Amino acid sequence: MPSYTPPVKDLQFVLHDVLNVTGSETPGYDELEADFTSAILEEAGKLTSGVLAPLNTVGDKEGCRLENGVVYTPKGFKEAFAQVKEGGWPGLDMPEQYGGQNMPYVIGTAVGEMFSAANQAFTMYQGLTHGAASAILAHGTDAQKDTYLPKMVACDWTGTMNLTEPHCGTDLGLMRTKAAPQDDGSYKITGQKIFISSGEHDMADNIIHLVLAKIEGGPEGIKGVSLFIVPKFMVNEDGSLGERNGVAVGSIEEKMGIHGNSTCVMNYDGATGFLLGEEHKGMRAMFTMMNEARVGVGMQGLAQADVAYQNALEYAKDRLQGRAVTGAEAPDKPADPLIVHPDIRRSLMDQKSFAEGARAFILWGATMIDAAHRAGDKDADGLVSLLTPVIKGFLTDQGYDMTVKAQQIYGGHGYIEEWGMSQFTRDARIAMIYEGANGVQALDLVGRKLAQDGGKHVMAFFDLVKGFIKDNAGQDADYDAAFLDPLKAASKDLQQAGMYFMQNGMKNPNHALAGSNDFMHMFGHVCLGLMWARMGLAATKALKDGTGDAAFFETKLATGRYYMARQLPATALHLTRIQSGADTVMALEAANF
């Protein structure tokens, strides 16, 4: 059975040596001393490796089951959920006013990575609740906040997001679910939603569904969509639970992965709903939840890649096959371990350098979300908004690829369920699809985010990379050659791709959109390149100062050098593809495929 070791030391390195969180002016960051964050991460680590990880295989094998309208989660989930709640983990970064601990989002993110790696299906119950609570926090009335948030922050009540319908997923303007206004100010919601994660289950007293629907008589298309709070059980004035609302699970889906999470068809039959935010501004309110969810899903890509890598590494050290080409390394044994072979090394280095780079990227993103929310920093808000589709799309595409690489290291055993490697691949696959399929993330990046606020944020990104290179060049020739030169080249590729879109996209938008996936990936590589340059700098400095664990920093530098030499140059291929335009992509008539 696979195991999970929480990457506490690496998280600490990113938080303190690279991002220097205590040096930040973001309110609340001054409290994030290394001892303090280490205590939190260690505690979360114990829970994830000791309680959640062992349930991962159970959840996969057993799945959820629907009986007489009740969804039963796999054995052990309920007890583990109680433990998670008791530890106050769901409310870690939620306001104290509603029972949370008000810690910065960056800490919630670091903890969240471990939860997701240990058991993605399980973690989704609290993850969706967090997203729904954030939407209520941002758009709810005081009365709505008081009614729902204390229970949701504690995860006594869980939350869901209901966008998808049988005939519409990406194109939500086609939505048919209706909201009929009532005299008392509430609405009657009628329609069907599909694929609703955590839509029904046995771990909470109440489930608060956030549902997109069209108010009768409102504008056509996406402009007529509003967001509603639809509780499973009505809530009385005194906070106690009242009668059952008109919402019920119709069925649960059989699916490729995340078996421990219930994916439900939800039927709304004149269910009572309460408007959240303004009429017809539902997408705006839902986006509060979706942006957070997209960063969370990007994290799932990293998390599955990391846990799969950890197990592949153990296997590669253990499994004896063949001899090293340069001479036996374990002559006392019948063969050498897999890890001696260069091609196995290549795969492990791909995985390791991705996971550590992605971890830094996500945490950097989380610091910008904190700066935006806690300090009203508009530039940070703009930059993280630009990078959100990259975090979601690049990290989940790559994360999935890395789980396949980890599975491959097991050879045939990776394909056999008993070893547990296929679960990582199957679980990682959904992250490329939900919260906006990755093709749509690329579309969002190229079609919307690049030009947002007159292109200000993408220019800020390029300035940031340029500034970093300028500030740090010339101090250490090895560092410059290994880190700064490749970063400069990759950033230039990205800029050229942006120029290509500007020059050709206006004439024919197909030229931009045919290159959107490549652009998202090259942007992701540049971000990880920047992260590795920052990590390389921190490691170089620590080694020069002689502080800390030298072996850790040497390993960090070697891993970074690998990423810069073997992964980052992918930007050149992406650029070539982008510059070839849309002609070959669009050449065939649909009938000729």
Ligand X SMILES: Cc1cc2nc3c(=O)[nH]c(=O)nc-3n(C[C@H](O)[C@H](O)[C@H](O)COP(=O)(O)OP(=O)(O)OC[C@H]3O[C@@H](n4cnc5c(N)ncnc54)[C@H](O)[C@@H]3O)c2cc1C
On whether the CB atoms of residues 512 and 499 are closer than 8 A, the answer is no
> Whole-angstrom Cα distance, residue 491 to residue 287?
29
CB of 434 to ligand X, least distance (A): 4
Helix (DSSP H) and strand (DSSP E) numbers for the chain: 19, 11
Cβ neighbours of residue 327 closer than 8 Å, sequence gap 6 or more = none
| 440 lies in the site for ligand X, by CB under 6 A | yes
Q: Which token pair is 379?
A: 């530039």
Residue 435 known to be catalytic: yes
| 585 lies in the site for ligand X, by CB under 6 A | no
| 226 lies in the site for ligand X, by CB under 6 A | no
Measured CA to CA in angstroms, residue 55 lies from 26, 200, 258, 398 at distances of 37, 20, 12, 25
| 227 lies in the site for ligand X, by CB under 6 A | no
> Whole-angstrom Cα distance, residue 87 to residue 44?
9
In this chain, which stretch among 72-80, 98-106, 342-350, 428-436 interacts with ligand X, using CB under 6 A? 428-436
What stretches of 140-231 show up as alpha helix (H) in DSSP?
142-153
Number of chain residues interacting with ligand X (CB under 6 A) = 19
On whether the CB atoms of residues 338 and 409 are closer than 8 A, the answer is yes
| 422 lies in the site for ligand X, by CB under 6 A | no
Residue selected from 122, 434, 562, 563 as contacting ligand X according to rule CB under 6 A = 434
Q: Which token pair is 542?
A: 């620590």
Cβ neighbours of residue 462 closer than 8 Å, sequence gap 6 or more = 491, 494, 495
Position with the least CB separation from ligand X: 169
Residue selected from 141, 170, 182, 584 as contacting ligand X according to rule CB under 6 A = 170
On whether the CB atoms of residues 337 and 317 are closer than 8 A, the answer is yes
In this chain, which stretch among 5-13, 438-446, 475-483, 529-537 interacts with ligand X, using CB under 6 A? 438-446
Closest CB to ligand X among 29 and 434?
A: 434
On whether the CB atoms of residues 555 and 473 are closer than 8 A, the answer is no
Phi-psi region of 220 (alpha: psi -120 to 50; beta: other; left: phi over 0): beta
CB of 591 to ligand X, least distance (A): 20
> Whole-angstrom Cα distance, residue 328 to residue 218?
74
| 582 lies in the site for ligand X, by CB under 6 A | no
Residue 242 is classified by DSSP as E
CB of 41 to ligand X, least distance (A): 28
Instruction: Pick the closest to residue 3 from 311, 314, 459, 344 (CA basis).
Output: 311
Residue selected from 84, 136, 161, 487 as contacting ligand X according to rule CB under 6 A = 161
CB of 119 to ligand X, least distance (A): 15
One character per residue 257-276, x = contact with ligand X (rule: CB under 6 A): ------x-------------
| 443 lies in the site for ligand X, by CB under 6 A | yes
In this chain, which stretch among 4-12, 195-203, 237-245, 490-498 interacts with ligand X, using CB under 6 A? 195-203
| 290 lies in the site for ligand X, by CB under 6 A | no
Residue type, 559: T
Instruction: Pick the closest to residue 486 from 555, 558, 556, 561 (CA basis).
Output: 561
Q: Which of 165, 356, 435, 589 is catalytic?
A: 435
In this chain, which stretch among 228-236, 270-278, 382-390, 429-437 interacts with ligand X, using CB under 6 A? 429-437
| Subset of residues 500 to 559 that bind ligand X, contact rule: CB under 6 A | none
| 436 lies in the site for ligand X, by CB under 6 A | yes
In this chain, which stretch among 30-38, 193-201, 300-308, 578-586 interacts with ligand X, using CB under 6 A? 193-201
Site residues (CB under 6 A) for ligand X?
161-164, 169-170, 195-197, 255, 263, 430, 433-434, 436-437, 439-440, 443
Q: Which residues are catalytic?
A: 435
